[in-house]
Amino acid sequence: MSSKSPNNSKQIYTNKFFYHDLQLRAIKLLNLVLLTIVFAGTWYLAYAKEIEDPFHGKGNIVVIALFALVYFLYGRTYDAFTVSLSSITEKFYSQVLSCLFTDGIMYFVILLLTRHWPRILPLFICLLVQIVVSYLWSSLSFKWYFKAFPAKKTAIIYDQENNLEEAISEYGLGNKFDIQKSILVNSEIEKRLPELDEFEIVFLSNVHSHERNQIIKYCIQHDIRVYILPRIGDVIMSGAERMHLLHLPVLHLGRYSPKPEFLVIKRLFDIIVSGCAFIVASPFMLAVAIAIKVTDHGPILYKQVRLTKDGREFKVLKFRSMRVDAEKDGVARLSTGEKDDRVTAVGKFIRKVRFDELPQLFNILKGDMSIVGPRPERPEIAAQYEEELPEFSMRLQAKAGLTGYAQVYGKYNTTPYNKLEMDLMYIANPSIFEDLRIIFATVKILFEAESTEGVDTDQSTASKKI
């Protein structure tokens, strides 16, 4: 009776991951194909014959392909294709948003092709059908995935405090990661590495580089997938420039210093977009100003000292959402959201819809802020954080922004340590494309309640992290 060698066994395991990824890509492609078919049907039935010079063959394919491309880009931005890492509701919401924007863009494409305002009803019906298809795909793909791929045996290797298992449960990922062991890193971690052979997934939570490198090499050699929660130094390293020096591979690091052409384009982009946004938002800003004045007769705008690039102070502008005497004792406090009794009735509304941030368009036009960048912090709050987390000042390498990486991918009450990591991820890899991605992703969180939550009153330390 023959037995399989360890190498053969490992090859079978590798094939499982290969087919897992292949099937996952097929399911994602199915979503793209189905929604494109819905648009294609609408195009052929309602619009193809209305254009000024009717297309034949390839022209129609180009229009349909344009829809597929735009939807794909929006879907990637809004994580609409994440089968296993999002709930059904999150996937559905992301896809509806992607369809809404894509159909809107295609309406203006059709306008250019027909040279008159096209009928909106067919595209509205198209959107409704796409919503139904999106819900069915989100629901069925979720059920299929976890039936076909049960939760994977997972180990957590951590240093210091470990809240990762709690976070995985909180965000509903327990059906993907079956946490069976937690291992505290110590000087003898190398002797314990064979214990990982029984696991498919390993999480590394804030593990120092020496031990982490040993673990990573072992996992790669034994085909164990690794998820790393980085330390600040790891995030900085992600922006290293790869080069060859002395016939050796070298990583070059330095302070945030983007190319001059990037800064010029970014500044022009800020001026154009904030100027257009001000024109569009001016009626809403007028309505908010009147509402604030009528309800409590206090000042309309609230000015507060914040920090921007290189620690320079400026006065950020906001519509006043709190009582006039909110900080009458002179102590700087972060808001606790809906639980904060200092917030006025009008303030609760404008915070929920983000209208309180609109006056910052003036800060952008003036040059104190950018549209995308680390959110500006108050000097007093920043000083408190830096007492326990000196690296917090590193986020001041770039100009402060109206929105940013931490705002899109974190929550209002994400810990300062993790916010810093997110801001440094943005600073490490600056690009106009990344700015555009964050701007579009910001739209997704505008109507998510958790993104306007206040800070947990128990969150007292800057260095607390997962």
Residue among 317, 325, 316 at smallest CA distance from 344: 325
**Domain parsing of the chain, residue ranges:** 6-148, 152-229, 260-452
Helix axes 432-445, 260-296, angle to 10 degrees: 20
Reported as a single tens digit per residue, the pLDDT across 424-445 is: 999 998 899 999 999 999 988 8
Reading across the β-sheet that carries 201-205, which strands appear in turn?
A: 177-184, 152-158, 201-205, 225-229
**Predicted confidence (pLDDT) at residue 455 exceeds the cutoff of 50:** no
In this predicted structure, what is the pLDDT of residue 407? Answer: 87
**CB contact at 8 A, 363 and 369:** yes
* Residue 353 pLDDT level (bands cut at 50, 70, 90): confident
| Interatomic CA distance for residues 174 and 191, integer angstroms | 29
Structure confidence by residue, pLDDT tens digits, 257-266:
888 999 999 9
Model pTM?
A: 0.82
Average pLDDT in the chain: 86
| Per-residue pLDDT, 336 | 56
Q: Note whether 98 and 75 are within 8 A (CB).
A: yes
Q: What is the pLDDT of residue 166?
A: 83
Phi then psi for residue 183, to 5 deg, are -120, 125
Query: If we measure between CA atoms, which residue out of 403, 416, 408 comes closest to residue 374?
Result: 403
pLDDT attached to residue 254: 86
**Which residue has better confidence, 361 or 323?**
361
pLDDT band at 85 (very low <50, low <70, confident <90, very high): confident
Averaged over 197-210, what is the pLDDT? 90
Residue 165 contacts residue 179 (beta carbons within 8 Å): yes
Angle subtended at Cα 456 by Cα 450 and Cα 461, rounded to the nearest 5 degrees: 125
* 7 or 335, higher pLDDT: 335
- Residue 459 pLDDT class (50, 70, 90 cuts): very low
Max avg pLDDT among 62-71, 171-180, 249-258:
62-71
pLDDT digits 0-9 by tens, 233-248: 888 888 888 888 888 8
CA distance 333 to 200: 44
Whose tokens are 């593990």? That residue is 207
Indicate the fold that domain 152-229 takes in CATH: Rossmann fold (3.40.50)
The CA-based diameter of the chain, rounded to the nearest angstrom, is 89
Check pLDDT > 90 for residue 456. Answer: no
